[in-house]
Amino acid sequence: MQPIQELKNTWQSIPPEVQQFLKRALLVFIVWKLIYHLFLFNGRIIDKPLTDLSTLGAVKIVQLFNPGSRVEMRVECASAIDNPTELSFADYILLNGRKIVGVADPCNALELMVLYLGFLIAFPTSIQRVLSFAAIGITAIYLSNCIRLAALAFMNMHRMSAVDMAHHYVFKLIVYALIFGLWVLFTKKQMKHDATF
């Protein structure tokens, strides 16, 4: 059997509801990537305010645990290492004038928020339900990212050897578990709601 025919047979064996979900998810992904890369990325239209807001949230958390210290945020711009004509932006958390952690745009959790929302949009349900879970989920992802950034700042101050492991593995596992848990809650409640009709 040829690979294309096998692929068609596999696709046809998938239940229609799942096919619909996968089509919607793919469409949301393509539309998001086009909008982001064509209109939003170069001007940092979403990235800058979200990076600043995430850094400020982390600053508040660091300040909470260092009440006698001066904790502040500084925005810096520099030439990118691999391309000197391209600018690189980062927010820094400073403790008494010393940089303790840098926050670049990929650290602002935008992609995680879009991933979470994409699932909600692709799943067949009411707009009101999507909006309520979107508000809860985006808030939870934002707060967990602020806590993550503050924890990285503390690790940079007290336990530098743990930063790499925490940044690349532990925190990702925690945030993805949070998102998965929200999705499970979203689908379970929807299935119970559908079963009552």
pTM of the entire structure?
Answer: 0.84
Phi, psi of 92 (to 5 degrees): -120, 140
Cα distance between residue 184 and residue 172, in whole Å: 18
Summarize pLDDT for 97-139 with one digit per residue, the tens: 999 999 989 899 999 999 999 999 998 888 999 999 999 999 9
116's CB contacts (< 8 A; 6+ apart) are 134, 137, 138, 141, 179, 182, 183
Mean pLDDT of 42-57: 92
**Residue 165 one-letter amino acid:** M
- In terms of phi and psi (left: phi > 0; alpha: psi -120 to 50; beta: otherwise), the region of 69 is beta
Inform me whether the pLDDT recorded for 197 exceeds 50. no
Cα distance between residue 102 and residue 107, in whole Å: 9
CA dihedral 76, 142, 163, 82 (to 10 degrees): -40
Q: Which of 47, 51, 107, 43 is nearest to 74 (CA)?
A: 51
Tally the residues of the chain.
Answer: 197
Summarize pLDDT for 149-166 with one digit per residue, the tens: 999 998 888 877 778 888
Q: Where are the alpha helices (DSSP H) in the chain?
A: 3-13, 16-35, 47-65, 110-122, 127-158, 163-165, 171-195
Strand partners, 103: 91
Cα distance between residue 57 and residue 55, in whole Å: 5
